Amino acid sequence: MIAIAAAWIMVLLAGGGYALDRVLTSAIASNFDNQLDFLLTTMMTSAEIGPEGEVTFNRELADQRFLEPGSGLYYQISGTGYEAFRSRSLWDRTLRVTAPHPDMKTHSYDSREFGSGERLRVMERDVRLPGSPVRWKFQIAQSRAGLDEQIGALRRVLIRSFLLLGAGLIIMVALQTFYGLLPLRKVRLEIQRMRAGKTNRVKGDMPAEVAPMVEELNALIAHNDRQAEEARRHAGNLAHALKTPLTVIMNAAAAGQADLGETVIREARTMRRQVDHHLARARAVGRRGSAHSRAEVWPSVEAVERAVARLYPNVRLDVDGPKDLSAHIERQDLDEILGNLVENAAKYGGGSVFVTVAAQAGFVEFLVEDDGVGIPESDRIRIFDRGVRLDSGKPGTGLGLAIVRDVAEIYEGTVSLEESEDLGGLLVRLRLPAA
């Protein structure tokens, strides 16, 4: 960041310095030419024709440098057939006479005609004076030493000023970058302290630009802690759930009971139910961490409808609701909990099941109704416990509603049992966050 900013600053300053140098140099040179033009005009207004047809001045030019040999300011008036009328400052030198110009305008140019390293700025104009048929060339020249010195001094000031400005800007960018990124270094140190076990969160006051990132980081850490705690709790629950059936099997085997085979099969089924339940929770917990969990509701409802219709061909199954809803849940988990609810309604109902899908204040709501005998209000909480079955005459594990509740809660949803007003049986209300 500092290198890119420094390079860009130098490019901009170089461009700006060049443009400013051109403007100021042009202004100084223009002022220099204006002074020469003024002196040239003074020469022409002071010139007149003498008795021999030569050019003379009716008054001396005011600048004393014309009288000092080698002063750096010279004039010369030349005409065909006449000796050049020169300033005393030229001494024994003569300005080079150029070819006549096609116009009577002022012309200027640089010259090194004296050959001594002295650069001259020459301004000349062809003029016809009253009373003379000769075309006179008025020339005035001045050494560029003073002009070049002014331009050199200006450029030195510009270069030093822009270098100082560039250094100041680069230092400012470096300090801004250093102190601007200082909170990120602070976050890194806090993470190091977390790895060392000295803290469990990123703490300390942070600038407004960094605070949202720290909040999200702490939220992610809290989420991971919850997942780790859930994993430990599930492992403990599974170990506790398997401990009793294993103990029964070991005692039966040690005692040499005659019904050992039946005992093993019965307890193995119990262990399998527990394993299935905890595996379902583990899958849901693992997938919940994805912020992109998204399932189209209607395809899942239709898939469950087709599957349940094949299992219970005598059950009438109706579905209704918008077809463009999406829920914040993995498709596999949505299929599993909907399948449990609809299958229970078909299994324990009187032959009619009605599924309604609707959007409710940031949630997708599923209503699964049947025309069965329903569930007494006193048993609607207990039925969600693992292994609880109110109707033992039909096959099942007693884990379906427990899995539905656990998976829904993992995705921050809810499930409740009510009485269906339309069909008279049970109504299961499932709410999942909308995607």
Note down pLDDT in tens along the chain; length 435 residues: 899 999 999 999 999 999 999 999 999 999 999 999 999 999 998 899 988 888 888 888 888 888 899 888 999 999 888 888 999 988 888 898 888 888 889 999 988 888 777 889 999 999 988 888 889 999 999 998 888 899 999 999 999 999 999 999 999 999 998 888 888 888 888 888 888 888 888 887 777 888 888 888 888 888 788 777 777 776 776 676 677 778 878 888 888 777 788 888 878 877 777 777 667 666 666 555 455 578 899 999 999 999 888 888 999 999 999 999 999 988 888 888 898 899 989 988 888 999 999 998 889 999 999 998 888 887 777 777 654 444 444 444 445 677 788 888 888 899 988 888 888 888 999 999 998
Own/partner contacts of 215-219, CB < 8 Å, gap of 24 or more, are 217/187
Task: State residue 53 phi and psi, 5-degree precision.
Answer: 85, 5
d(C-alpha 332, C-alpha 407), whole Å = 11
The answer to whether residues 281 and 234 touch, using CB atoms and an 8 Å cutoff, is yes
Structure tokens at 326: 């999406």
Residue 283 is predicted with a pLDDT of 63
> Rounded to an integer, what is the distance from CA 76 to the centroid of its chain?
71
- The per-type count for the chain, helices as H runs and strands as E runs, is 7, 14
Residue 292 is predicted with a pLDDT of 59
Residue 393 is predicted with a pLDDT of 44
DSSP 434: B
Residue 364 is predicted with a pLDDT of 94
The domains of the chain are located at: 2-149, 211-288, 295-433
d(C-alpha 116, C-alpha 177), whole Å = 56
Residue 216 is predicted with a pLDDT of 87
- Per CATH, 2-149 and 295-433 having the same topology is answered no
Domain 295-433, CATH among 3.40.50.300, 2.102.10.10, 3.30.70.1710, 3.30.565.10: 3.30.565.10
Tell me the sheet residues that pair with 79.
Answer: 82
Nearest alpha carbon to residue 356 among 372, 380, 338: 338
Task: State residue 96 phi and psi, 5-degree precision.
Answer: -70, 130
Structure tokens at 148: 């070049």
Place of tokens 């849940």: 329
d(C-alpha 100, C-alpha 299), whole Å = 98
> Rounded to an integer, what is the distance from CA 203 to the centroid of its chain?
26
Task: State residue 142 phi and psi, 5-degree precision.
Answer: -140, 145
For the domain 2-149, what is the CATH code? 3.30.450
Taking phi first (over 0 means left), then psi (-120 to 50 degrees means alpha), and beta for anything else, what does residue 70 get? left
Q: Which helix (H) or strand (E) holds 154?
A: helix 145-195
d(C-alpha 52, C-alpha 146), whole Å = 39
Taking phi first (over 0 means left), then psi (-120 to 50 degrees means alpha), and beta for anything else, what does residue 133 get? alpha
d(C-alpha 258, C-alpha 263), whole Å = 10
d(C-alpha 399, C-alpha 340), whole Å = 9
Nearest alpha carbon to residue 300 among 380, 366, 220: 366
Task: State residue 393 phi and psi, 5-degree precision.
Answer: -80, -10
Residue 218 is predicted with a pLDDT of 86
Strands 352-360 and 316-320: parallel
Class of residue 25 by CB neighbours under 10 A (exposed 0-12, middle 13-18, buried 19+): middle
Residue 160 is predicted with a pLDDT of 94
- For the four alpha carbons of 218, 219, 222 and 223, in that order, the dihedral sign comes to negative
The answer to whether residues 407 and 336 touch, using CB atoms and an 8 Å cutoff, is yes
> Torsion angle of alpha carbons 309, 315, 321, 327, nearest 10°?
-50
d(C-alpha 288, C-alpha 93), whole Å = 99
Tell me the sheet residues that pair with 433.
Answer: 363
272 three-state secondary structure: helix
Residue 363 is predicted with a pLDDT of 93
Please provide the size of the chain in residues. Answer: 435
